[in-house]
Amino acid sequence: MRQSFLFTKTRKEAPKDEVSQNAKLLIRAGFIHKELAGVYSYLPLGLRVLEKVVGVIREEMNTIGGQEVTLTALQDKKVWETTGRWDDTVLDVWFKTKLKNDTELGLGTTHEEQLTALMKDYIASYRDLPRYVYQFQTKFRNETRAKSGIMRGREFLMKDLYSFSADQKSHDDFYEKTKQAYSRIFARLGLGDRTYVTFASGGSFSKYSHEFQTVTDAGEDSIFVDENSKVAINKEVFTDETLKSLGLSKEGFVEKKSVEVGNIFSLGTRFSDAFGLNFIASDGTKKPVIMGSYGIGPGRLMGTIVELLSDEKGIIWPLVVAPFKLHLVALFDKEDKVRVYADALYQRLTEQGMEVLYDDRDQRAGEKFADADLIGIPYRVIVSDKTIGENVLEFKNRKTGETTKISETELQKMMAKKTE
Ligand code: ATP
Ligand code: MG
């Protein structure tokens, strides 16, 4: 993409009321636009990153047998009354709305109810199980504190998967499979080292649920971590009783601030009982379906990456989610020699399938470099009168700041090999 064509511009200042580092940088670099506290639009660069995060999650969900759908954001009050969660004191983050005839509707905060009701039309026999259904969908939550930028939106994208199993054993197997798929996702996104599978409160059907907590000062949660065993326990359940039930002692656990990037939950028969989601087992008896729910916030992940991978100059995207893999920065001369050269180079690189952002704007070198640092594309190629004279390209690594002179063929080879 030609940068002169991109409608967004970088800016020196973030909105004054913005306190989080992720939103400040993402707004300044033109990835997102703030509409309200906790409500952000994704702009071309931001959407490219979000879609890459989504792409990694989708691959891993498909690998474990997930089938993708999109459920509706407008939800039927009656469906929610089935479990008692329409009540604002039971679920305190509701956004509700009305039809012209005053029929009340909810804006989806989550989709357990809706999907359980839907699956009644499709699950009748043990032959219809197991089923794993997931979506990427906008959730609406009237969060009280929305100070963490895209890490806590009032409108945000969630990947939510729901499992429908015939018995506890097959549920437990899938739960374990999802746990591993989640670990692969966070590792692929460069957060593996700091993301812990964390024991958290389990609700009524299992003793614990598992949260995936990424250690960062920007997080709103607190966990206790034992670095040696890699065991982590959410502060909310870090009690003598929990430690005893897990056969652990307090020693070695250190408190850390973290953000919940994912969550997996055994639901038992809570929803299937409420909706009468039963099936006929192979022995002819009627049984309730055993369910689980598994969430990840792609926007929260994107915000977490920015919090962890940035410096005083701007963002440093890991290659997997970078909006473009290469930033071609041309420093134009008066005679257009550099422009002609850089245009042709840009065309060749894009034709080879490389994702290139080409800074073809008539800006000063200093401004171009500052913008490139802020936007944070991992690799940069600088073309100038001087590099053309020397018959080289100047190659710069955003993370290390290292600069080398290479040929176009070397650039192609290097980029083809790069994985991070
Ligand atoms: P939190 O305790 O941080 O509010 P939650 O327990 O409400 O999170 P879930 O309902 O389990 O979160 O949602 C599944 C996933 O969706 C979370 O693990 C997180 O990644 C993401 N998520 C939840 N709330 C938000 C939000 N307000 N903005 C962005 N992502 C969110
Ligand atoms: Mg919440």
153 Cβ below 6 A of ligand 1 = yes
Identify the pLDDT of residue 418. 80
Number of the ligand 1 atom closest to the C-alpha atom of 260: 18
Tell me, which fold does domain 326-417 have in CATH? Rossmann fold (3.40.50)
How many whole angstroms separate alpha carbon 387 and alpha carbon 368?
17
Among all bound ligands, the one having the nearest atom to the CA of 201 is 1
**Distance set, CA 244 to CA 83, 237, 248, 379, 391 (Å):** 33, 12, 6, 49, 68
- The HSE-up count of residue 192 (CA atoms within 13 Å, CB side) is 10
Identify the pLDDT of residue 7. 98
298 Cβ below 6 A of ligand 1 = no
Would 21-311 and 326-417 be classified into the same CATH topology?
no
Task: Report how far ligand 1's centroid is from the alpha carbon of 260 (Å).
Answer: 7
Residue 182: name the closest of 301, 78, 73 by CA. Answer: 301
Number of the ligand 1 atom closest to the C-alpha atom of 158: 16
pLDDT (tens digit, 9 = 90+) per residue, 259-282? Answer: 999 999 999 999 999 999 999 999
pLDDT (tens digit, 9 = 90+) per residue, 387-407? Answer: 999 999 999 999 999 999 999
Q: Is the pTM of this model over 0.85?
A: yes
Structure tokens at 49: 């990153």
pLDDT (tens digit, 9 = 90+) per residue, 38-69? Answer: 999 999 999 999 999 999 999 999 999 999 99
Task: Report how far ligand 1's centroid is from the alpha carbon of 56 (Å).
Answer: 19
219 Cβ below 6 A of ligand 1 = no
156 Cβ below 6 A of ligand 1 = yes
Identify the pLDDT of residue 410. 96
30 Cβ below 6 A of ligand 1 = no
- In this model, does residue 36 exceed pLDDT 80? yes
> What is the mean predicted confidence (pLDDT) over 7-16?
94
Give me the phi and psi of 127, to 5 degrees please. Answer: -70, -20
Among all bound ligands, the one having the nearest atom to the CA of 23 is 1
How many whole angstroms separate alpha carbon 377 and alpha carbon 37?
27
**Under 8 Å between Cβ of 90 and 60:** no
Identify the pLDDT of residue 420. 65
How many whole angstroms separate alpha carbon 349 and alpha carbon 408?
9
pLDDT (tens digit, 9 = 90+) per residue, 172-192? Answer: 999 999 999 999 999 999 999
Q: Which residues pair with 382 in a beta bridge?
A: 329, 394
In the chain, the N- to C-terminal Cα span, in Å, equals: 21
**Under 8 Å between Cβ of 230 and 199:** no
The residue contributing the CA closest to ligand 1 atom 28 is 152
- In this model, does residue 417 exceed pLDDT 90? no
pLDDT above 90 covers a percentage of the chain that reads: 96
How many whole angstroms separate alpha carbon 395 and alpha carbon 406?
7
- In this model, does residue 161 exceed pLDDT 90? yes
With residue 106 as reference, give the H or E element that holds it. strand 104-107
Among all bound ligands, the one having the nearest atom to the CA of 153 is 1
Which residues neighbour 119 within 8 Å (Cβ) at sequence distance 6 or greater?
Answer: 131, 133, 164, 277, 289
For 21-311, CATH number out of 3.30.450.20, 3.30.1220.10, 3.30.930.10, 3.30.530.20 equals: 3.30.930.10
Burial class of 41 by CB neighbour count within 10 A (0 to 12, 13 to 18, 19+): exposed
Burial class of 230 by CB neighbour count within 10 A (0 to 12, 13 to 18, 19+): exposed
Task: Report how far ligand 2's centroid is from the alpha carbon of 148 (Å).
Answer: 13
Q: Provide the phi-psi class of 203: left if phi over 0, else alpha when psi is between -120 and 50, else beta.
A: left
Range list of β-strands (E), 155-276:
155-165, 195-201, 208-215, 221-226, 231-234, 253-268
Task: Report how far ligand 1's centroid is from the alpha carbon of 383 (Å).
Answer: 44
Among all bound ligands, the one having the nearest atom to the CA of 136 is 1
Which residues neighbour 215 within 8 Å (Cβ) at sequence distance 6 or greater?
Answer: 194, 195, 196, 223, 225, 256, 257, 258
> What is the mean predicted confidence (pLDDT) over 308-320?
96
Number of the ligand 1 atom closest to the C-alpha atom of 141: 27
**Under 8 Å between Cβ of 48 and 42:** no
Domain locations in the chain as residue ranges: 21-311, 326-417
**Under 8 Å between Cβ of 160 and 137:** yes
